[in-house]
Structure 1
């Protein structure tokens, strides 16, 4: 299993609306690509939140091919939606992991 991990720091004043957008729109759009089998949205604990609230979103896919399809066919549009909605009120970085069970 491949895990597409997105860590996002959101300005404190925008965190609530960002979570609402994630739950009501963005995660649904990601899952509707048909390339991911599951997801998890988490808030990092024990963090200094003075400059932002940190969240982690993990999207699971069955193989690297599905992840590559997402990157090639959907990622630019998905990222642009977040930028259009929240501008510079967040910063994100992405990693890809392989689950070893």
Structure 2
């Protein structure tokens, strides 16, 4: 399994608009692609020296192939929409993670 992680630092001036867009439009659109079986949005608990609030959005895919399909078929349009709406008010970096094993408490 693969986690596609997008970390975003969101400027306070657009925070509420960005969060509403993520919850009501962006994440539902991504779920509709069928490439991910689960998405989590989490707040990074750190005081940013340059301000803003940082979030990690984790997109869980069954395989690397599903992630590659997402990149090819959906990512350019969705990234362009984010850039158009928020410009440099949201700074992002992306990482890909492979789940080796999960441990759970019983």
TM-score by length of 2: 0.90
Map Cα deviations across residues 39-92 of structure 1 (whole Å, 9 max, x no partner): 100111132265211011000000000000011111110100101111121111
Partner residue in 1 for 2:90: 90
- Superposition RMSD on alpha carbons, in Å? 1.1
- Distance in 2 of aligned mates of 1:49 and 1:33: 36
Q: Which has the larger radius of gyration?
A: 2
Match in the other structure for 1:18: 18
Query: Structure 2: how far apart are the matches of 1:29 and 1:76?
Result: 13
Tell me if structure 2 keeps the 8 A contact 1:12–1:50.
no
Change (3 A) 1:49 1:23: farther
Give the 5 Å matches for 1:54-69: 54-69=54-69
Counterparts of 2:72 and 2:48, CA distance in 1: 35
Task: With the length of structure 1 as denominator, give the TM-score of the two structures.
Answer: 0.94
SS in 2 for 1:87: helix
After TM superposition, list the pairs within 5 Å mapping 1:20-99 onto structure 2.
Answer: 20-48=20-48, 50-99=50-99
Give me the whole-angstrom Cα distance separating, in 2, the residues matched to 1:48 and 1:87.
19
SS in 1 for 2:88: coil
